[in-house]
Structure 1
Amino acid sequence: DDVLAAADQAGIDRFVAGGVSMGAAIALRLACRHPKRVAALVMVRPAWTFAAAPPNMQPIAEVAELILEHGPDKARTIFAQTATATRLYHEAPDNLSSLLGYFDRPDAKAFAQVLANIAADGPGVSQHEVAALAIPALFVGNAMDAVHPLSSAYTLAATMPNAVFAEVTPKARDSKQHFSELHTEITTFLQSHSKVRSLIPS
């Protein structure tokens, strides 16, 4: 609703909707619910495909539960000793860094409930609805990301008939290269659909 309100205020009827992680889920839901308004999709590191509370959201749920139960300081100490933290340290250090940042927020305890709600939620769209979207779409993913699995981007791209899938360098390996490749992929996609005005929520 907020995205549509912003588009209406800007006088934009149809636009490219996109986002990263939860922003990608919002964009996908927007396209399914209001297909006449969305001309194309840009989906970067989607965390969800079709189901709510997928297993890759579990680290976020775990952090939220610890903060709500113990407060941020004690929760951080407990989390650092968990199997989840150890696994992410070796497999997805960028995810671990993001999760640790949640403990340091000044509103950590209040925000923890938001995190819990996000981890338990989903885009509220079915595979059938996504497959019916005939608009152009770009799905971008990368390896070394436990919260935003590469498989999610690939699965969604394979579901839509006019979708393009792109894999970029993981942020955890080379952040500068990651954003350079991401910029190139998005720019190329948008230029190929240059007649469409874009509005990309993050």
Structure 2
Amino acid sequence: MTMSTPAAAFARTVRGAGPGLLLAHGAGGGIEANYGPIMDGLAAGHTVVGVDYPGAGATPKAQRPLDVDELVDELVAAADAEGLDTFAVSGYSLGGPVAIRLAARHPERVSSLVLSATFAHADTRTSLAASIWHQLFESGQHAVLAQYVNLMALSEPALNSLTPAQVHAAAEQLATAFPVGTGDQVDLVRRVDVRGDLAGIAVPTLVVVTTADPLISPTLQRELAAALPAAEVAEIQTGHLPFAERPQEWLKLIDDFLARSRKH
């Protein structure tokens, strides 16, 4: 790779060996935050390449609004830098539309897609949730935002398994951990729309529906699956954070699907 390559400007995580697997993370998250709990499992059978969006991980904050095509370019650039000609793409939450756009623009390189807790566009409810998230972050009300995220991200059973004191402690910890690019990333949640790309996606696709998700409703997730010609659906009984509530179950769904899709 020469220094003139336009890419690989974003920080990336590379683990494992085997077929390529790109990771696209969610808004206000990061590769470690969203995929860390299952990274060892994914890397056991794949060359895993994850890219942190601007303002997440070690990637500097953006100086302008985020653009889904620029995120796609960075993921492809990271794959190029690691010598991956073809790869599967796993997109979580905001990473879902990023993965879809990547597959639409580079169909010859994408072998399969895994789309978890995600959407093709923000419906009114999701847009409202993202708007509140954005306002609380940008106004510096991070303690209130942390409580809001716990309310909107955890399933009802997971939240109710905690005492009020535990919820307060968790929110205090979370309030100091929001990536500096959270506002930019949540803003993109409200703007991104890849519905026009769905009909042309021909690769094997797994849509993992988080059935107890207060943030991205299961209805919106199933709408995405129904619009994809080659999608199969798996359900996991969690809120918006499968990596926190049921990481091993989530890993098994992804691993089993990728193994099946390679055989076709």
TM-score with structure 2 setting the length: 0.56
1:8 equivalent to 2:80? Answer yes
Aligned to 1:147: 215
Which of 65, 75, 79 is equivalent to 2:135? 65
Aligned length: 183
Aligned to 1:105: 176
1:125 equivalent to 2:197? Answer no
Listed as ranges, the matches of 1:173-184 within 5 Å are: 178-184=246-252
Q: Which runs of 5+ in 1 are unaligned?
A: 197-202
Counterpart amino acid of 1:194?
R
- 2:134 is paired with a residue whose SS is helix
Q: Deviations over 1:24-55 (max 9, x none)?
A: 22111101122122121011111x22x35642
Aligned to 1:23: 95
Higher relative contact order (CA 8 A, sep 6+): 1
Q: Deviations over 1:99-157 (max 9, x none)?
A: 9579713677x5453255234221x4234x31121110000012221212222332222
Q: Which whole-Å CA distance do the structure 2 matches of 1:140 and 1:130 have between them?
A: 16
Aligned to 2:110: 38
Q: Deviations over 1:30-87 (max 9, x none)?
A: 01122122121011111x22x3564214223213213434x326x729x96x9x9978
* Counterparts in 2 of 1:165 and 1:102: CA distance versus 1, 3 Å: farther
Task: Report sequence identity in percent.
Answer: 25
1:157 equivalent to 2:157? Answer no
Deviates more, 1:8-17 or 1:111-120: 111-120
Q: Which whole-Å CA distance do the structure 1 matches of 2:177 and 2:249 have between them?
A: 34
* Counterparts in 2 of 1:195 and 1:152: CA distance versus 1, 3 Å: same
What is the RMSD of the two structures over their aligned residues, measured on CA atoms?
A: 3.7
Q: Is the 8 A contact 1:41 1:138 kept in 2?
A: yes
Q: Is the 8 A contact 1:53 1:119 kept in 2?
A: no
1:137 equivalent to 2:205? Answer yes
Q: Is the 8 A contact 1:14 1:38 kept in 2?
A: yes
Q: Which whole-Å CA distance do the structure 1 matches of 2:178 and 2:83 have between them?
A: 36
4+ residue segments displaced more than 4 Å: 84-94, 99-103, 171-177
Higher helix share: 1
Counterpart amino acid of 2:78?
A
- 1:193 is paired with a residue whose SS is helix
Q: Which whole-Å CA distance do the structure 2 matches of 1:184 and 1:88 have between them?
A: 21
Q: Is the 8 A contact 1:92 1:172 kept in 2?
A: no
1:186 equivalent to 2:223? Answer no
